[in-house]
Amino acid sequence: MRRPGFTLIELLVVIAIIAILASILFPVFSRARAKARQTSCLSNVRQLCVAADMYTQDYDETLVLAAHRPPSGGGSPPSSAPIWPAYVSPYVRNTQLFVCPDARSQGWYVETWGERGRLPYGLNVGTGDLVTGLPYALAAFQEPARTIWFADSAPGNTGAPDNMRGFQITGGRQPGTQAAVGQRHNEGATVGLMDGHAKWYKSSTVWQLNNAAGLAWTP
C-alpha cells in the first residue's frame, strides 16, 4: 500500500512556521552572544583594575600613569615612551586582557606612545599631573568607588578603520583630545573604578561618575 506524502500546502505551512521561529530566535541568540562578549569585557577590565591596584601597592600607593611624560615644558613624550600597558602587563601576563571582544581592532597590544592609538581600553589620564608628568597618590581621590580608572575607548577617526583611540580618557582640562569613552556594549561602556570593581554603565549615566580629568563622553 502506498503511503501518503505531504501535500504542498502542508510543506509551505511547515516552512512558514520554521521561518517565524527563526525570526524570533535569531535576535535572541545575537543578544546572548553580545551579552557574553560584554561579560568577557567586564572580566578583562576587572582584572586590569586588580593588576593596576597591585602596581599601586608595590609603588607605595602611587598610581600607574597613562603615559610617561617629560617634565613640565618638555612637550609630548617621544614615540618610544612607555604607556600604561607597559606598567600593568607584568601583573597580568596575558596580553589578551587588553583586547575587548567587541573592539574592531582585535589582537592589538602596545606599550609605547607611538602606538597608543591601537588600544581598545583607555586609562584615566587624570591619574597623573598633566603639567609635571608625575603620578598622583591613591589617597588623592576621595571617592575611589565613583572614579573611573579604565574604560572602553572610542574608535579613532584618523583614517584607519581599525584604529582604536585607547591611551587615555580625557575631557575637562584637555577637551577634544583623543580617547574618550566608547559605547560598544549595548549602548553603554564597561568601566573599571578606582576601588577595583568593574561595571557596565549606560551612555546616559557614565558621565555622572567622578573623574579627575572631567570625563568626556562621546556617543
What φ, ψ does residue 77 adopt, rounded to 5°? Answer: -65, 155
Q: How high is the pLDDT of residue 93?
A: 81
Please determine, for residue 120, whether its predicted confidence score (pLDDT) is greater than 50.
Answer: yes
Q: How high is the pLDDT of residue 99?
A: 87
Residue 217 DSSP symbol: B
Lowest mean pLDDT across 59-68, 176-185, 187-196: 176-185
Per-residue pLDDT band for 164 (boundaries 50, 70, 90) equals low
Q: pLDDT tens-digit profile of 1-26?
A: 556 666 777 777 778 888 777 777 66
Q: How high is the pLDDT of residue 208?
A: 60
Classify residue 7 by burial, with Cβ atoms within 10 Å: 0-12, 13-18, 19+.
Answer: exposed
What distance in Å separates the CA atoms of residue 175 and residue 119, rounded to the nearest whole number?
20
The one-letter amino acid at 109: Y
Nearest residue to 117 via CA among 70, 78, 156: 156
Q: pLDDT tens-digit profile of 209-219?
A: 655 444 443 33
Lowest mean pLDDT across 44-48, 71-75, 128-132, 135-139: 71-75
What φ, ψ does residue 142 adopt, rounded to 5°? Answer: -80, -20
Average pLDDT estimate for 37-62: 93
Q: pLDDT tens-digit profile of 33-46?
A: 888 888 999 999 99
Average pLDDT estimate for 104-122: 79
Please determine, for residue 72, whether its predicted confidence score (pLDDT) is greater than 70.
Answer: no
| Contact yes or no for 85/29 (Cβ under 8 A) | no
Please determine, for residue 160, whether its predicted confidence score (pLDDT) is greater than 50.
Answer: no
Please determine, for residue 110, whether its predicted confidence score (pLDDT) is greater than 80.
Answer: yes
CA atoms within 13 A on the CB side of 59: 16
What is the rounded radius of gyration, in angstroms, for the C-alpha atoms of the chain? 23
**How much is the pTM?**
0.77
